[in-house]
Structure 1
């Protein structure tokens, strides 16, 4: 009996020693329940180390495959120019060409991101449709551009006009070289010459028109044209006699149906219809007589792809372009260096300097002109619409998430961008001003002229904003110190 107890005691001691040795061994490789893995000398992250340990095909899949149950973005390489599809991309509804997977696992994990990975967006439809917009009918995508783009491949210049302004498309497109979404106001009998002007512009003005411009047509429900050709008929090519003058030549504003019927120009209906129809994530809502500096699209998209530090800030953001007027007959500047020379010799001035200097006075404008000119695009300064710039009316590259324009306001009544500006301010938007991009107005410096009728419309608009629109904005967006309409 005594021998048995002694044997059991010895066995218990041995078992305890084994358990203790096992525990010590575990603690040597673990702390607080978390296993440790020593990082490699190269300094790569643990995630990269795990991916590098996979087979080559698996490593490529780990970086390119979307999470389960989530929609997969378009598979395509970044466009070579940033302005349109490259040979490695596809057009929507066509066969896709996919880049082969990288054979080097380390290259896959450390490569630079492509635009399709940085810009999280989905392709939008450009199918023709007809819909009401308040008191207006809009023929969306009535005449479509021949070329299509993925949502991340370019920037859409969104604008508005009547048909007498379509001559601006040629200089605009020669500098922009990207998609344009254009709303054309065509009430009553203005519709027929508008359709002729669109066809003539596509057939005769420049091949860039048919390639890049999508036309939308809109008019009030009280001024519907007598006939409306279907969209497919409207977009037919080869119907124009290019030996004849353009339909807008020698057409005065006084002869338009709009003028004779005393219709106020619904500027914000045109702006919103064009912007909402853009198929790209980034948009530049502007006026058709404002021409951008060449190369904005590829330079801006490269900046977005790089994800410079200002772009990583949490606030919502837009990217204003400085605007200038040119002397009549002046040659359009090709770059900032030429623009600065024109400003020094007086053939260019800041936009609306003689009409409303505070409306387009960009923050740090003097420093912008004096700054060293660098290659590409970068954020020069982050401004706010407060203080001296409380009534600033910036034109900027933004997205579909930005507030729209109030469609109760007209061009004749002025202040048509002020409610949107207030919304941007209250939402604490950052205005990330671009260093080397700018807009120039069609040559011809504007001077202040007395217009009693427009002054009357402006007074009515100010009353509408003060008594109706501003109280609505305070309910919808709230208030923020320093923000004003």
Structure 2
């Protein structure tokens, strides 16, 4: 009897061992398969050639006349006096930067949807200007940071774009520069200098900001471009963010439908995504969701700053099928646990300004504005069937960049943000919404 029981126990042990071995083998094979797929996927991504912004211009005919409305002696030279210069909107006379508004002055027809794409640019990103013009059919207001010789590089590229793209007539451009490094431009023959529309990003003697201890004043650019907009509604965004199809007019149609429901303290969030290199830019939600399902699109900065652009209700947003019209999806406040959220939104020129003491290099440059909007009890209406897509490439997915060079700038921004928080805490102690989480 004992012998039979032992044999039975041995059989049970063997069966358990076989089951364990089976599942371990299965897990191992899945791991190998996943690793192999991941390796192939990474190799495919590495072999993809990143798209060139402005590449579509190359097939366009060049014009003898510029489509841009230049001021201050442009395009042949840049002439301005001290009386033409302005101080930035927030810091005013305390600022070390100066502004020259409307060096290019947009002319907007009545039929153009009155929502302005507000953005900023350096010489490195000039070729994104035609991409925005291509996809956004409303007015465009751009602040260009052009210290010293960067103005020569900037205008040399811009002049050719203005000879090739008719819709540049909708673009206004304003110059921002350090007071000690005014932009200069050598005399330049415009149309006869160019033979085609093949504009490339080539840089010679570019201004070295690090060498001169000058950071990129991203919030000066945002405020300047927003201040110069001539429409009630504005969308302050970054120049690498491409809008979904017909976003401006679809938004205005929605606002017409919901006429009267537009309080001052309400803005409209445009969800932001990024797409792998090698895929076409999605212009409809249907196309975007196909890429999300395939793992080729994720919400913006998912791998670099997960809390920055992961908006409330995102899981439901990416499962809700496309509809033709832009419509409200969810109305929320920027309160805990979304107190680190930095949405891009369509708002107005009455919204709080961006803090101009914060630099791009130091990160968290939108946080004071976001905190102020929370304390002012703003509502954030997340839009459906509208979105922005970062120019192809998912940041941080395949390798981490070395951002050690940012350390001193991060320290400066952190100190500035700490000062802002102390100011708020001391002046509004009794009325602070604790859910806004000052830290």
Alignment of 1:132 onto 2:83: no
The separation in 2 between residues aligned to 1:376 and 1:461, in whole angstroms, is: 40
| Distance verdict in 2 for CA 1:437–1:476, change over 3 Å | farther
Query: How much does 1:474 deviate?
Result: 4.1
Partner of 1:392: 341
Partner of 1:430: 379
> Equivalent residue of 1:131, what SS?
coil
Using the size of structure 1 for normalisation, the TM-score is 0.67
Partner of 1:145: 106
Query: How much does 1:444 deviate?
Result: 1.0
| Distance verdict in 2 for CA 1:314–1:300, change over 3 Å | closer
Query: How much does 1:148 deviate?
Result: 4.9
- Listed one character per residue, the Cα deviations across residues 167-210 of structure 1 (whole Å, up to 9, x for unaligned) are 11222222211110000000011122222222122113x2222x
Partner of 2:22: none
- Listed one character per residue, the Cα deviations across residues 215-244 of structure 1 (whole Å, up to 9, x for unaligned) are 101101021235699xxxx9x973651437
Alignment of 1:296 onto 2:240: no
- Asked if the contact 1:153–1:280 (Cα under 8 Å) also holds between the matched residues in 2, the reply is no
- Asked if the contact 1:199–1:239 (Cα under 8 Å) also holds between the matched residues in 2, the reply is no
The separation in 1 between residues aligned to 2:197 and 2:320, in whole angstroms, is: 48
Partner of 1:182: 142
Q: Residue 249 of structure 1 is aligned with which of 188, 201, 208?
A: 201
> Equivalent residue of 1:138, what SS?
strand
Query: How much does 1:315 deviate?
Result: 6.7
Partner of 1:465: 417
Query: How much does 1:429 deviate?
Result: 0.5
Partner of 1:191: 151
> Equivalent residue of 2:278, what SS?
coil
Alignment of 1:216 onto 2:171: no
- Asked if the contact 1:158–1:181 (Cα under 8 Å) also holds between the matched residues in 2, the reply is yes
The separation in 2 between residues aligned to 1:338 and 1:427, in whole angstroms, is: 37
Partner of 2:39: none
- Asked if the contact 1:200–1:242 (Cα under 8 Å) also holds between the matched residues in 2, the reply is no
The separation in 2 between residues aligned to 1:480 and 1:473, in whole angstroms, is: 11
Gaps of 5+ in 1: 1-127
Using the size of structure 2 for normalisation, the TM-score is 0.73
Higher relative contact order (CA 8 A, sep 6+): 2
| Distance verdict in 2 for CA 1:305–1:333, change over 3 Å | same
Query: How much does 1:320 deviate?
Result: 0.5
The separation in 1 between residues aligned to 2:114 and 2:390, in whole angstroms, is: 23
Alignment of 1:326 onto 2:275: yes
Alignment of 1:276 onto 2:236: no
Partner of 1:103: none
The separation in 2 between residues aligned to 1:414 and 1:136, in whole angstroms, is: 20
| Distance verdict in 2 for CA 1:335–1:129, change over 3 Å | farther
The separation in 1 between residues aligned to 2:306 and 2:86, in whole angstroms, is: 39
Query: How much does 1:297 deviate?
Result: 1.2
Partner of 1:443: 392
- Asked if the contact 2:119–2:222 (Cα under 8 Å) also holds between the matched residues in 1, the reply is yes
The separation in 1 between residues aligned to 2:410 and 2:162, in whole angstroms, is: 37
- Asked if the contact 2:113–2:249 (Cα under 8 Å) also holds between the matched residues in 1, the reply is no
The separation in 2 between residues aligned to 1:423 and 1:208, in whole angstroms, is: 36
- Listed one character per residue, the Cα deviations across residues 248-279 of structure 1 (whole Å, up to 9, x for unaligned) are 52328x94343543420000000000000000
The separation in 1 between residues aligned to 2:422 and 2:316, in whole angstroms, is: 37
Q: Residue 118 of structure 2 is aligned with which of 158, 164, 189?
A: 158
> Equivalent residue of 1:222, what SS?
coil
Partner of 2:363: 414
> Equivalent residue of 2:85, what SS?
strand
The separation in 2 between residues aligned to 1:373 and 1:406, in whole angstroms, is: 37
- Asked if the contact 2:113–2:138 (Cα under 8 Å) also holds between the matched residues in 1, the reply is no
Q: Residue 225 of structure 1 is aligned with which of 183, 195, 212?
A: 183
| Distance verdict in 2 for CA 1:373–1:318, change over 3 Å | same
Partner of 1:9: none
Q: Residue 312 of structure 2 is aligned with which of 363, 371, 377?
A: 363
The separation in 2 between residues aligned to 1:174 and 1:401, in whole angstroms, is: 28
The separation in 2 between residues aligned to 1:155 and 1:402, in whole angstroms, is: 15
The separation in 1 between residues aligned to 2:198 and 2:405, in whole angstroms, is: 33
| Distance verdict in 2 for CA 1:176–1:475, change over 3 Å | farther
> Equivalent residue of 2:133, what SS?
helix
| Distance verdict in 2 for CA 1:373–1:165, change over 3 Å | same
- Asked if the contact 1:190–1:258 (Cα under 8 Å) also holds between the matched residues in 2, the reply is no
Q: Residue 481 of structure 1 is aligned with which of 426, 434, 437?
A: 434
The separation in 1 between residues aligned to 2:104 and 2:192, in whole angstroms, is: 14
- Asked if the contact 2:153–2:203 (Cα under 8 Å) also holds between the matched residues in 1, the reply is no
Partner of 1:267: 218
- Listed one character per residue, the Cα deviations across residues 109-161 of structure 1 (whole Å, up to 9, x for unaligned) are xxxxxxxxxxxxxxxxxxx95312222111101111243559x9510000001
| Distance verdict in 2 for CA 1:272–1:315, change over 3 Å | closer
The separation in 2 between residues aligned to 1:278 and 1:476, in whole angstroms, is: 32
